[in-house]
Structure 1
Amino acid sequence: MKTAILTLAALLAASPALAQTTVQSCDRQVTFDAPPQAAIANDINLIEMMLVLGLTDHMVGYTGVSGWVKLDAEIAAGVEELPELSSHYPSREVLIGADADFYFAGWNYGMRVGGEVTPETLAPFGIQVYELTESCIHIGDKDPASIADLYNDLRNLAAIFNVPERAEALIAGYQAELATFLETLPALDHAPRVFVYDSGEDVPFTAGRYAMPNALIEAAGGVNILDDIEGSWTTVGWEAVVERNPEVIVIIDYGEVSAEDKQAFIATHPAFAEIDAVRNNRFVVLDYVEATPGPRNIRAVMTLAEAFRGE
């Protein structure tokens, strides 16, 4: 009996080390001794990642939604028991005041380089941070945006909260759903040239090679006319857009200016009259939550794939 007690004690002493999980977060390795119990996610797409993994019981709130977009019915139902702690990026005081132990955010998705809320500034208060993979380009080198970025975040979140099987089931389902759908579509005779229009009239805010729409367009069979831009979400001159003559224009729907108004601006502006997409009225709309990294990227690829084929 004494031997059994000693063996059990040894196992219990060893269990904290066995329970530790280490994940790669941009240029950092972050170790978690146990699943967070007071998590906060910033931005609607990151919140939805938490939802699809069934992690709301580990959350104490969310931030960064109502200042830019509205929760749709599906996401609103998933977080109805949780408060929005800040309508825009949260301050450090907001996160500390909520007794948070985990912050899921990204660079330009709740954190700014050199800002008051970063992994380094939150660490002294016991708040660990996992950074959105797509956003890592803002602090270092990274491969161009890919659907794999989404899968990487789901796997890392699931590892942090000790539910790895949930991520694997989701990813397998997403991959099968997308592959099956694409197989039903006719082949493209060429990869259509695509421009992403987020906002802006003097200069357009758009997606370079490190922003998720670049990956969505590629997965759907097209090519982003700005895939050579070494940036994520960025601005370019209208001259470059006209010169590269997109065949399809993707409009990101969010903010105070409606998708209809954005389309009307481009469609009626004399300078854009000879763009193929304008001449042929080939516009497609993606919601913000579809165009930024998150579970609805799969649906976005399907929407684009149909639009590229004129369906």
Structure 2
Amino acid sequence: MRSRVWSGTAAVVLGSLLAVGCGDWEKDAPSAGAGSSADAAPGTYPVSVTDCAGVRTTFSAAPKKIVTSNAAALELLLRLGVGDKVIGTGFPPGEHTLPGALDAQARQVKVLSRTVIPKEKLLGSGADLYIDTFASMGGMGGSGMGDAPTAPEFEAAGIHHIYLKSTACAAQSRTPVTDLSAVEADIASLGAVTGTTARAKELVAGMEAKVAAVRQAVGDTAESERPTYFFFDYDAGTKQPTVVCNRQIANAVITLAGARNVFADCAGDYKQVGWEDVIARNPDWIQLGVRDRGSEAANKTAFDEAEQWLKSNAATKGLTAVREGHLLRVGSEPTTIAGVRNADTVEEIAKALHPGKVG
């Protein structure tokens, strides 16, 4: 195994959290609000994290200047209370798409790109840490989108490069993802790296409590009685649907909400299928998986478009979910990308599908 060590000679290795989850954490801690890094504990260093192939990055101190590849990692850092350390982001969150004070904090972060951060801009950003939500781990070079810097280029620029493994490593998972332990491990890992472990524990405890309440409410529903569910990734294209398979976080969200992903038999994260495959599985519910457009009005327009497409297309208008109006307007990001709001999405879906059980 290669080891990418930036400083320090010993490490508390957090990569194994992805496998074992966070089951030994405190369950009764309150959910954390937004805050500044001044509120954070100093942390224990050195700390090491690994990527999908086990390559290790070691930190001897908390990073001071962080760049995030997109809104998912940015939101986690804001929730951990280290938003003042973030000097830039790609794929910024739309206005008012983050709750409460997080939205105002996100507006203060410099936008390095509306999409993928250009390679030279990233390397010249002055960051000492870059957090990648998506990654093409086969070549170990970096982001799965655009012309990404190589590992040697990151090192030459003095930038640690780590990943949200629950998303970046999804396709390589050996077993179906049916819970949020990988997401919780990402939060734990970022908490350790940034010296905010206590706050990370609070965030995870809040997620676990919310999911536990849903599971208790729908736990006695027989598998055969749980509604079938299709995540319609409208933005991935309508000519040939891209579906979420059983290694994707969305599969866990759907399962925990008391539903059955109609493509849970697909081993991987995403797969392109034909509409005849969707028709054959005839889902009871369809989620209009629209990606954040930057404003509530723009998001509503996109949801309207996705719904109208399903209702007007000859191949889909006869589906049970379409005929019965079982079309959920829940965004893509909190369903498919790691974050505290994964638990909120579990609750939101469960309330729609099991109104008599989940209040």
TM-score range, shorter chain: 0.7 to 0.9
Deviation at 1:114, TM superposition (A): 8.8
Q: Name the TM-score, length of structure 2 as normaliser.
A: 0.74
What secondary structure does 1:221 align onto?
Answer: coil
- What residue number does 1:136 align with? 168
More displaced stretch, 286-295 vs 129-138: 129-138
Counterpart of 2:122, as a letter, is L
- What residue number does 1:172 align with? 205
**Which consecutive residues of structure 2, in runs of 5 or more, have no partner in the other structure?**
1-7, 12-43, 137-141
1:50 correspondence with 2:85 = no
Take 1:273 and 1:258, find their aligned partners in 2: how far apart are those partners? 18
Take 1:224 and 1:187, find their aligned partners in 2: how far apart are those partners? 18
1:59 correspondence with 2:86 = yes
Counterpart of 1:25, as a letter, is D
Deviation at 1:181, TM superposition (A): 4.5
1:237 correspondence with 2:263 = no
Counterpart of 2:326, as a letter, is R
- What residue number does 2:339 align with? 294
- What residue number does 1:209 align with? 246
Answer whether contact 1:107 1:138 (CA < 8 A) is retained: no
The one of 94, 98, 117 equivalent to 2:121 is 94
Deviation at 1:211, TM superposition (A): 1.9
Take 1:117 and 1:237, find their aligned partners in 2: how far apart are those partners? 35
Answer whether contact 1:91 1:117 (CA < 8 A) is retained: no
Of structures 1 and 2, the one with the larger relative CO (CA 8 A, separation 6+) is: 2
More displaced stretch, 229-238 vs 137-146: 137-146
* Structure with a larger share of its residues in strand: 1
What secondary structure does 2:345 align onto?
Answer: helix
Take 2:46 and 2:348, find their aligned partners in 1: how far apart are those partners? 40
Take 2:315 and 2:302, find their aligned partners in 1: how far apart are those partners? 21
| Distance verdict in 2 for CA 1:152–1:143, change over 3 Å | farther
**Partner deviation per Cα, 1:16-39 (whole Å, 9 max, x = no partner):** 987211122222222111111111
- What residue number does 1:277 align with? 321
What secondary structure does 2:329 align onto?
Answer: strand
Take 1:140 and 1:121, find their aligned partners in 2: how far apart are those partners? 25
Counterpart of 1:297, as a letter, is N
What secondary structure does 2:149 align onto?
Answer: coil
Counterpart of 1:24, as a letter, is T
| Distance verdict in 2 for CA 1:121–1:219, change over 3 Å | farther
1:195 correspondence with 2:221 = no
| Distance verdict in 2 for CA 1:55–1:234, change over 3 Å | farther
| Distance verdict in 2 for CA 1:192–1:117, change over 3 Å | farther
Take 2:48 and 2:251, find their aligned partners in 1: how far apart are those partners? 29
- What residue number does 1:122 align with? 154
Q: In angstroms, what is the RMSD of aligned CA positions?
A: 2.7
Take 1:37 and 1:289, find their aligned partners in 2: how far apart are those partners? 27
1:30 correspondence with 2:57 = yes
| Distance verdict in 2 for CA 1:268–1:96, change over 3 Å | same
Deviation at 1:310, TM superposition (A): 5.0
Query: Alignment identity in percent?
Result: 24
**Which consecutive residues of structure 1, in runs of 5 or more, have no partner in the other structure?**
1-13
Take 2:130 and 2:147, find their aligned partners in 1: how far apart are those partners? 15
The one of 106, 123, 133 equivalent to 1:106 is 133
Higher Cα Rg, which structure: 1
Answer whether contact 1:203 1:238 (CA < 8 A) is retained: yes
| Distance verdict in 2 for CA 1:310–1:172, change over 3 Å | closer
Counterpart of 2:253, as a letter, is L
What secondary structure does 1:271 align onto?
Answer: coil
Take 2:219 and 2:262, find their aligned partners in 1: how far apart are those partners? 23
Counterpart of 2:268, as a letter, is G
| Distance verdict in 2 for CA 1:171–1:141, change over 3 Å | closer
Answer whether contact 2:191 2:200 (CA < 8 A) is retained: yes
- What residue number does 1:3 align with? none
Answer whether contact 2:183 2:338 (CA < 8 A) is retained: yes
- What residue number does 2:5 align with? none
* Structure with a larger share of its residues in helix: 1
Take 2:132 and 2:264, find their aligned partners in 1: how far apart are those partners? 25
Take 2:246 and 2:218, find their aligned partners in 1: how far apart are those partners? 26
**Partner deviation per Cα, 1:257-276 (whole Å, 9 max, x = no partner):** 71111111112222224322
| Distance verdict in 2 for CA 1:140–1:179, change over 3 Å | closer
Q: Name the TM-score, length of structure 1 as normaliser.
A: 0.85
| Distance verdict in 2 for CA 1:259–1:223, change over 3 Å | same
Deviation at 1:92, TM superposition (A): 2.2
1:72 correspondence with 2:97 = yes
Deviation at 1:15, TM superposition (A): 11
What secondary structure does 1:307 align onto?
Answer: helix
Deviation at 1:243, TM superposition (A): 0.7
Q: How many equivalent residue pairs?
A: 296
| Distance verdict in 2 for CA 1:94–1:152, change over 3 Å | same
What secondary structure does 1:270 align onto?
Answer: coil
